Amino acid sequence: MAEAVKRANVDMAIAYPITPQSEVMHLVGDIYAQGHIKEYYRAEEELGTMSAIAGAARAGVRLFTATSGPGLLRGLEAIVSWSGHRVPAVLGILTRVVNAPLSIQPDNIEMAYMMHCGAVMLHAENQQDTFDYTLAAFAITEKVDVYIPVAVATEGFFVTHAKGYVDMTADDICLNDFDPVAAPVPAMDNETPPARIQRDAPVQKSNFMSYLIHSVWQQEIWDSNQRAMKYIYEYLGGPIEVQNPEADVFVLGSGCAAAQCREAHRYAQEEGLSVGFVKVKAIRPFPVDEIREALKNAKAVIVPEHNIIGWLCKEVKAAIPNGGIVVEGPRVYGGMTLPVELIMKEIHTALGLEYDLKL
């Protein structure tokens, strides 16, 4: 992630420690020390960090920060206002549990809290995705017809503290400088005429106009979110990956669960079972049409997840006309790994076959 930040020619990064995110911002700090980033500091806590990102965005610079689990929730009040304020920042989320009893182990339940704030959300399966998605995130967030934040999530520890080969762009190329004029709202730098604007006046009066302003603005934010989809096609080849599209049973996952789904799919291929695989890369905008098309002939869809509530499963159920075919789980949380055998058992059950589950 930090290597992508380096190539993204970031102006300013603001850090606050939390495990397992800290290392990302340590490495971003090293990049700052090397002179690749113009400003970097450790803020007082996450709300301060996310608020400072919002402040710096008004001055028209390229921004990055990252957090994890409880840190994301601490900063969420500021984060949920980023989209409405048209803050084109990239947020790294290295997932971690938030529920009591608290632990530092990974699951990705905090992503559920992020899903309704207007930000574009990408979910990386592995180290390669983390690099690719982060770099793409900067390009997407600054598109004039998008201009809302992009969050790149990946599972803490499973991805952040594991090794993987990554193909990276050359070290000596980077994104062009941030252009604060190429924006749907001008930077509040007093340099962009007309200079006297009240971009951020609140609309809290209890009258119809304020409801209307809020409503129209929110619709525009979610339209911006939808408009990000064409750039997800451009930079990531689309919001989903599909293998074996003619299959009867599908395993569908995002993030680390997609890696386990991929492995289950490989096992199934070896056994000659009619099983397909769908990886969801974009959580927002959610690829409703693409998933509907991919699953149009499916008899069952198994959605393994790394969280207790099954937010992806709910999204898939809502997206397809025959939501009853969705198999909820298997789900693991609190840092447990997701054995492929659990997915294989669901595959066999869906196909009406016996499976001797040995863990």
Partner 1 sequence: MSLKYITPAERFKKYLPKDYVELVDYGPFGKTQDEAGPGNMGQFKELMEEHPMCSGCWMAYFIRLIFASLPAPEETVTLGTAGCGRLAISQAAVPFIYGNYGDQNAMASGLTRAFRIRFPEKHKDVITIAGDGGTMDIGFSMTMHSWIRGEKFTTIMLDNEVYGNTGGQESGMSPKGAILKMAPLGKKGEKMPATALAQAAGCVYTVRLSPTNIKKAAKVIRRAIFVAREVGPTFVHAYTSCNIEYSIPTEDVFADAKEKEKTRFQFEEYMTDEAKAVIDRVEAEEKAAKRAKKAEVV
Binding site for partner 1 (CB under 8 A): 11-12, 14, 38-39, 41, 43-45, 47-49, 51-61, 77-78, 81, 180, 188-191, 193-202
Q: Which is nearer to partner 1, 145 or 179 (CB)?
A: 179
* CB of residue 96 to partner 1, shortest distance in Å: 22
Q: What single string gives the DSSP state of each residue in 119-172?
A: -EEEE-SSHHHHHHHHHHHHHHHT-TTT-S-EEEEEETTTTTTS--------TT
Q: Cα torsion at 165, 169, 170, 173 (round to 10°)? A: -150
Structural tokens at position 33: 């020390």
User: 64: closest CA among 111, 114, 8, 26?
Assistant: 8
* CB of residue 180 to partner 1, shortest distance in Å: 8
Q: Which is nearer to partner 1, 116 or 163 (CB)?
A: 116
Q: Which is nearer to partner 1, 14 or 316 (CB)?
A: 14
* CB of residue 66 to partner 1, shortest distance in Å: 16
Q: 13 by DSSP, 3-state: which?
A: strand
Q: Which is nearer to partner 1, 41 or 233 (CB)?
A: 41
* CB of residue 207 to partner 1, shortest distance in Å: 12
Q: Which is nearer to partner 1, 109 or 187 (CB)?
A: 187
* CB of residue 334 to partner 1, shortest distance in Å: 30
**Would you say 254 and 82 are in contact if contact means Cβ atoms under 8 Å apart?**
no
**Would you say 269 and 310 are in contact if contact means Cβ atoms under 8 Å apart?**
no
